[in-house]
Amino acid sequence: MALNLNPLLSFTFLQMGYHTSPKFSVASMHRSVSREVTKKTSSSPRKVQVTHSMPPHKIEIFKSMENWVEENVLIHLKPVEKCWQPQDFLPDPASDGFHERVEELQERAKGTPDDYFVVLVGDMITEEALPTYQTLLNITDGIQDETGASPTSWATWTRAWTAEENRHGDLLNKTCNQSAGFWANIFKKIRYKHQIELCFSFLLVGSSSKDVQMENNPYLFFIYTSFQERATFISHGNTARLANQHGDKSLAQISGIIASDEKRHETAYTKIVEKLFEIDPNGTVLAFADRMRKKITMPGLLMYDGCDDDLFEHFSAVAQRLGVYTAKDYVDNLEFFVERWNVEKLTGLSSEGRKLRIMFVG
């Protein structure tokens, strides 16, 4: 039976706002609260960013988890030689039937509503910003890959996770490129693909991203990634379902295979936080509450194509309308993690920790 999540807590998080699709934002901010202007002048005031907020002595916790990570987290990775690759799902240019297969792909795309492709492109944009997410991992205290080839379990996870995630944007990008008619039918602008590619660059450069307030803190980071991966699993799963409904089995397969990766990654990150609750229940529940106050925002929240300051809102409104990822999904996920991490039964808490436990479970 699911926990009865504290209704006040749910309301509080709803008030934080999220327009959704989690690939742009697991929990985006309400416009009236905190939407930052994308295009900033050199004189714009900068917010002071908090860094290295985890007490230094807690780095030892993550060092002590090395063997546990090897035995319990790395098992959720697939050997490289057994991983699917984008070309496995696309017409082979070297094959005799290449042009016919591309034409079939384009023909199926014509029968799929425009809104579906809007969400698909949004997924692609954020997946293509993968280097941003690897950077966040590699500046997190206690788990950094200090050489780029570190043999630690944490570093091994980061590199392998990145390799698996890298296929997602690649596959979505190539799928859209081979559906040439899709670009013409939907956007009707010869430069629109150029603007989409601008989004990739803006997200990587950082001129359209925001501080997601990780603070180099692995507690905050792993709680964040648990939510993000679960939300992405749901989003891609719903995208696959919609493709099936519109008769496009190829797109359904593509979204489904990406969703299965996200599910494995969700399981790994969720297990890490579960272990942290076991080792340091008080520190972890404090971080959980802090992370929720900060909101689970993805760097793509302020995606920008050089023209549209409200691009994220336009994409996310479509995702919400299609039911790809909704506000209800976010609250359901919060309830899922409160139960999964057994917050209701935590012991060894400080007075503040006990108050936060009550806030979560009522």
Question: Binding residue per annotation — 52?
Answer: no
The answer to whether 126 and 203 are in contact (CB under 8 A) is yes
The sign one gets for the Cα dihedral 261, 264, 270, 271 is negative
Point out the residues that are catalytic: 84, 127, 165, 168, 229, 232, 261-262, 265
Cα angle 117, 209, 25 (rounded to 5 degrees) comes to: 50
Supply the pLDDT for residue 360. Answer: 94
Sequence-separated (6 or more) residues with CB below 8 Å from residue 225? 265, 269
Question: Binding residue per annotation — 265?
Answer: yes
Better pLDDT: 154 or 41: 154
**Domain annotation for the chain: domains and CATH numbers:** 16-28+52-325 (1.10.620.20)
Q: Enter the DSSP assignment of 301.
A: G
Question: Binding residue per annotation — 344?
Answer: no
Q: What is the pLDDT of residues 94-142, one digit of tens each?
A: 888 888 888 887 777 777 888 888 888 888 887 888 888 899 999 999 9
Task: Give the span between the Cα atoms of 281 and 244, in whole angstroms.
Answer: 43
Question: Binding residue per annotation — 127?
Answer: yes
Supply the pLDDT for residue 115. Answer: 85
The answer to whether 25 and 312 are in contact (CB under 8 A) is yes
pLDDT bracket for residue 92 (50, 70, 90): confident
Question: Binding residue per annotation — 128?
Answer: no
Residues 76-111 as b/e (b if ≥16 CB within 10 A, e otherwise) read bbeeeeeeeebeeebbeeeeeeeeebbeebbebbee
The residue whose two tokens read 């050997």 is 79
Residue 71 pLDDT greater than 70, yes or no: yes
